[in-house]
Amino acid sequence: MVHYPSSEILNALPKQFFAALVEKVGRLTAQGHDVINLGQGNPDLPTPPHIVEALQKAASNPIHHKYSPFRGHMFLKEAAAAFYEREYGVKIDPATEVAVLFGGKAGLVELPSCLCNPGDTVLVPDPGYPDYWSGITLARTKMYTMPLVEENSFLPVYEDIPESVSKLAKLMFLNYPNNPTGAVATSGFFEKTVDWAEQHNVCVVHDFAYGAVGYDGVKPPSFLQTDGAKEVGIEIYTLSKTYNMAGWRVGFAVGNKSVIKAIELYQDHMYVSLFGAVQEAAAAALLESQACVDELRATYESRRNAFISSLHDIGWQVQAPPGSFFAWLKVPEGQTSQAFSDILLEKAHVAVAPGIGFGTHGEGYVRAGLLTSEARLQEAAKRIKDAFSFN
């Protein structure tokens, strides 16, 4: 058989850091060990029944057995606009300010190719979602990392970006509530973001994947609530987390008309839109009762409280995240994120994600997902106590 070498672009893609973790967990599981896997970011609860029923009903409609409109059904765009006005008081034109996405990840990876030329600079948070790096590589652009550190509440400091970098930057990714740190942005921070973006002509892409998951009575703000935000950027919203629809692969981008137009043009050449029945179910999720979202948020908050309390009980003094369904846990002194993750996996059979996998400034932390029951989270803490002394 002839071996055809991969392209330079494919060979340049970042290595899948977490593939090693998956392999290690699989090895222990195959040996019969009960591994509590907190390294994942995959929602563990089912999609609410009324959304599933909407899909089932729509799937029987022959209209959806044909190609959907290339740029998505207007009813889904209208639902996205209604959702933003109801939840955030933001008016969106469904015809020009909404792009239907094949999941939030697709939009995030597409955007550097939509807006940048080879050699342009893209600003990314460090630590941050690794798939930002993939889109940057595919577009042959350059990455400049913005450190997220605890002393600054895991928010980037724009004054620290050199002017030489700012002049070359075309795009900036932000993500609040944040993966992996769980930090939540303030309206004041978003105001600074708009001012900086206007000054430097940089498009802001706010990844709002965890927008529904804020704790202690705080509702995470939308970037688009900020005056001038639609002039300088967009927000990407996925139904994966808010409605436990990760496997459905549906999301949308909202905001700046020129960016929405670029996304839709790019997708015209990549796809022929989403299965119409999935679009109908997504519209039902956005428009019908949001009681399921309130229940989900309460579940995650209860899990967070149980887990962090249990870790405090064993002597691991970590901070509770204000948002997202991740806990960002500082490793004990003298440990690296990878070494500590290996200890927890091998000795406690608890899997967490090493912070270094999210960027250089992720070193010194591990990420734990709140994506299992309170009892399993408490059991994880008990196992960690037996495997490692925090005294």
For the stretch 41-92, pLDDT in tens is 889 999 999 999 999 999 999 999 998 999 999 999 999 999 999 999 999 9
One-letter amino acid identity for 329? L
* pLDDT at res. 337: 95
My answer on whether 42 and 92 are in the same domain is no
* Euclidean distance between CA atoms 98 and 75, whole angstroms: 11
When pLDDT is cut at 50, 70 and 90, the band that residue 198 belongs to is very high
| Residue 17, pLDDT above cutoff 80 | no
Which CATH number goes with the domain that contains 267? Answer: 3.40.640.10
Indicate yes or no: pTM above 0.85: yes
pLDDT digits (tens, 9 = 90+) for 125-149: 999 999 999 999 999 999 999 999 9
- Across the chain, mean pLDDT equals 95
My answer on whether 135 and 207 are in the same domain is yes
My answer on whether 17 and 54 are in the same domain is no
Q: What is the mean pLDDT of residues 235-255?
A: 97
Give the chain's domain count: 2
* pLDDT at res. 15: 82
Q: What is the mean pLDDT of residues 292-302?
A: 97
| Residue 169, pLDDT above cutoff 80 | yes
Question: Among 242, 265, 287, where does a domain finish?
Answer: 287
My answer on whether 206 and 64 are in the same domain is yes
β 365-369/353-354 pair status: antiparallel
My answer on whether 263 and 155 are in the same domain is yes
| Residue 219, pLDDT above cutoff 80 | yes
| Residue 179, pLDDT above cutoff 90 | yes
Give a yes or no: residue 2 inside a domain: no
* pLDDT at res. 18: 77
Q: What percent of the chain has pLDDT over 70?
A: 100
When pLDDT is cut at 50, 70 and 90, the band that residue 20 belongs to is confident
When pLDDT is cut at 50, 70 and 90, the band that residue 177 belongs to is very high
List of residues 6+ apart from 295 with CB closer than 8 A? none
My answer on whether 72 and 217 are in the same domain is yes
Instruction: Give the residue carrying structure tokens 């009762």.
Output: 289
My answer on whether 146 and 274 are in the same domain is yes
pLDDT digits (tens, 9 = 90+) for 252-275: 999 999 999 999 999 999 998 899
When computed from its CA atoms, the radius of gyration of the chain, rounded to whole angstroms, is 21
Q: Bridge-partner residues for 144, per DSSP?
A: 123
DSSP 226: S
* pLDDT at res. 389: 83
My answer on whether 64 and 200 are in the same domain is yes
Closest to 206 measured CA to CA, from 220, 214, 219, 215:
220
